[in-house]
Amino acid sequence: MMRDSGKVVTVTGPIEPRKLGVTMMHEHLFIDSRGFFSEPRSKEDRKRAHQPVTMDKIGWIKAHEEHHLANLHLDDEETAIEEVLEFKKRGGGSIVDTTLRAIGRNPLGLKKVAQKSGLNIIAGTGYYTWEAHPKELARKTVEEIAQEMIDEIEQGIEGTGVRSGIIGEVGTSHPLEQNEKKVVKAAARAQQATGASITVHTGRDECSPWKVAGILEAEGATMDRVIMGHLDITTADMAKLEELARKGCCLEFDRFGSEGHFAWSDFDEPNDAGKVALVKKLIDRGHVDQVVISLDVCSKVQLKRYGGYGYSHIVENVAGWMRTKGVTQEQLDQMLIETPRRLLTLA
Ligand SMILES: [Zn+2]
């Protein structure tokens, strides 16, 4: 039997699944995306790009997410605690932090936030997209990468004793880069060894989730423990989404509160009303138990402190909007409690 089968592995240790409550499946309490910063072209923009996040710049930063350096860095424990307490105050129970090595993962910070806030926090393992791959990944075999994931789930992350409870967010691009492909294959093996679910950062092309699902399937992954993330910036094509659902995947709409402002791909990201409509459509077609929703908080302007919606946006606002569109409490509980519980419980 696998270690902690039937339990959820949080950063403070294994817990009973019923203790999870309302769960955000794709968030970042700590992250350093400054490697993705790109210097703006105009002189005026270059100047503000290097200034602190202040209220007068919030609008510009939201429209140019990758052009403001400090915005791309969440590293303050006190801020993280204050922000997640806003979620807890409104009925939140658990948060999955999908930050990985090389983009600011902070296992001990997560443990502290969990202890101080009383929330359950689940940490990820694996590698993000190729831009954030350490050089040595190119030399590692699929087996070695899988073993790293298994060790982080069973023993702990980098000697901290803080264990991962989910694989990912597994970074994929479109087309899939060769080392990303190794990581996807390794994720399937680590899943079989540990019973953990896999959460995928899909690439910015509507073919990406299907390509990744195909590889996972071929590698023997348990498909009903695969979460396809960022679908709200990938496609709104029902036939394509339902095909993924038929494979068994969980469909994750994890960008509530954000709009891509044309930066991502040819696909125009729907706003929150559009995301609600998309989720409602999937519910009406019978997929309520294969949909999860989250916020992917990964920048300062998404925090309440900086004028954003914070980690509580779904429980505070989106859930109410969904109810006005006819989503029942039972369906909300399915997406926010039951399905996350199933996915986070080790097989
Ligand atoms: Zn993310």
Distance 276 CA to ligand 1 centre (A): 20
Distance 168 CA to ligand 1 centre (A): 9
Distance 207 CA to ligand 1 centre (A): 19
Distance 137 CA to ligand 1 centre (A): 20
d(CA 288, CA 204): 25
pLDDT at 264: 65
Distance 255 CA to ligand 1 centre (A): 9
- In the CATH scheme, what is the homologous superfamily, with its name and number, of domain 10-30+75-344? Metal-dependent hydrolases (3.20.20.140)
d(CA 18, CA 344): 11
Distance 170 CA to ligand 1 centre (A): 10
Distance 296 CA to ligand 1 centre (A): 5
Distance 254 CA to ligand 1 centre (A): 8
Distance 123 CA to ligand 1 centre (A): 12
Distance 331 CA to ligand 1 centre (A): 24
Distance 3 CA to ligand 1 centre (A): 27
Per the CB < 8 A criterion, the answer to whether 322 and 332 are in contact is yes
Q: Which residues pair with 149 in a beta bridge?
A: none
Per the CB < 8 A criterion, the answer to whether 294 and 25 are in contact is yes
Please give the distance of CA 200 from its chain centroid, rounded to a whole number. Answer: 8
Measure the CA angle with vertex 152, ends 148 and 153; round to 5°.
120
The pTM of the whole model exceeds 0.85: yes
Q: pLDDT tens digits, the chain, 347 residues: what are they?
A: 578 999 999 999 999 999 999 999 999 999 999 999 999 999 999 999 999 999 999 999 999 989 999 999 999 999 999 999 999 999 999 999 999 999 999 999 999 999 999 999 999 999 999 999 999 999 999 999 999 999 999 999 999 999 999 999 999 999 999 999 999 999 999 999 999 999 999 999 999 999 999 999 999 999 999 999 999 999 999 999 999 999 999 999 999 999 877 666 788 899 999 999 999 999 999 999 999 999 999 999 999 999 999 999 999 999 999 999 999 999 999 999 999 999 999 99
pLDDT at 2: 79
CA distances from 69 to 100, 113, 257 (A): 19, 24, 21
Q: In what order do the strands lie in the sheet with 22-27?
A: 22-27, 92-97, 120-125, 164-171, 198-201, 226-229, 250-253, 291-293
Closest among 131, 73, 98, 140 to 296, alpha carbons compared? 98
Q: What is the maximal distance between C-alpha atoms in the chain?
A: 60
Distance 297 CA to ligand 1 centre (A): 7
Distance 43 CA to ligand 1 centre (A): 31
14: which 2 tokens?
């294994």
In degrees and rounded to multiples of 5, residue 133 shows phi and psi of -80, 130
d(CA 135, CA 266): 31
Q: Which residues surround ligand 1, an ion (CB under 5 A)?
A: 98, 296
Distance 256 CA to ligand 1 centre (A): 12
d(CA 166, CA 178): 23
Distance 201 CA to ligand 1 centre (A): 7
Burial of 224 (0-12, 13-18, 19+ CB in 10 A): middle
Handedness of CA 313, 258, 297, 146 (dihedral sign): positive
Distance 280 CA to ligand 1 centre (A): 23
First to last CA, the chain: 9
